[in-house]
Amino acid sequence: MSSRGYFKFICFLARLVYPKARTVCETTPDEAPGVFVCNHARIRGPVMITLDFPRPHANWIIACAMDKRGCESYAFHDVLIGESRRFKPFWRLLAKAVRVALPPILENVDSVPVYHDRRAVETLKKSAEKLESGKDLVIFAESPVGHSEYVNELQRGFVDVGRYYWKKTGKKVKYYPVYVERSNRAICIGAPIEYDPELPANEQRERVCVHLQDGVDRLARGLKKHRPVTFMERRWYDAYGRYVNDFEGYWRMVESGEGLKSVPRGEEQ
């Protein structure tokens, strides 16, 4: 089976679990490309966006998930959360299976690889190029720090896309809050906030992220009552609580693969 055929087959299987979602907008988004910042809801957010987001777009995807070498470590720590479980050999074996299955899916999704080192500049530059080509960006930017029952605090770095886009085109991009929810079959898009080139970088990041966090929370509360799905499972915090305020350190650990090494008896989480 070709990579594209495999991707279509996986989408077919996903559709059996995720009925078609409706798009609900507080205000109709501009025709101009924008940055759509979405709750993750574990796997639900990326799946629903891939299946039903109504506009041409590119997704921010963690770079190590897109190649087999890095994908195993990513799967073990971030998907399976193997460090928090017993029987680590089983979870490592399952991570090897994800290493085979996941990259062919991601290579068929229009994407911008996300790096957490000096190559982060490449992420921002490529993002500006995607916007200039007329495509939206969809970004899952939540951190492990809680904000409300529906959304976590957002990592701030993605806001800098607006600066690169402004320098490249002289245009001010808009950032839209997005809340996806499976039981309501809804992709909710909120009122945007526009990049302001006059503001200092830190003030800009804070202003945009506060608007988006509050927007996602408001969209969630406007839906029929439902059980929210958090960004991280509780056992992630049990295993990796030391990284709650050091998410960059967490990604360095994941991308290095060091966490896959055996842990001496008595030092396991």
The residue extents of the domains of the chain are 15-260
Copy the structure tokens of residue 174.
């808009």
Distance from C-alpha of 173 to C-alpha of 159, rounded to nearest angstrom: 10
Distance from C-alpha of 187 to C-alpha of 41, rounded to nearest angstrom: 12
Distance from C-alpha of 197 to C-alpha of 104, rounded to nearest angstrom: 38
Copy the structure tokens of residue 37.
């910042």
Reading the chain (269 residues) residue by residue, the pLDDT tens digits are 788 999 999 999 999 999 999 999 999 999 999 999 999 999 999 999 999 999 999 999 999 999 888 899 999 999 888 887 777 888 889 999 999 999 999 999 999 999 988 899 999 999 999 999 999 999 999 999 999 999 999 999 999 999 999 999 999 999 999 999 999 999 999 999 999 999 999 999 999 999 999 999 999 999 999 999 999 988 899 989 999 999 889 998 898 877 666 444 344 43
DSSP per position, 101-121: HHHHHHTTS-EEEE-SSTTHH
Copy the structure tokens of residue 261.
């090494």
Q: pLDDT value at position 110?
A: 95
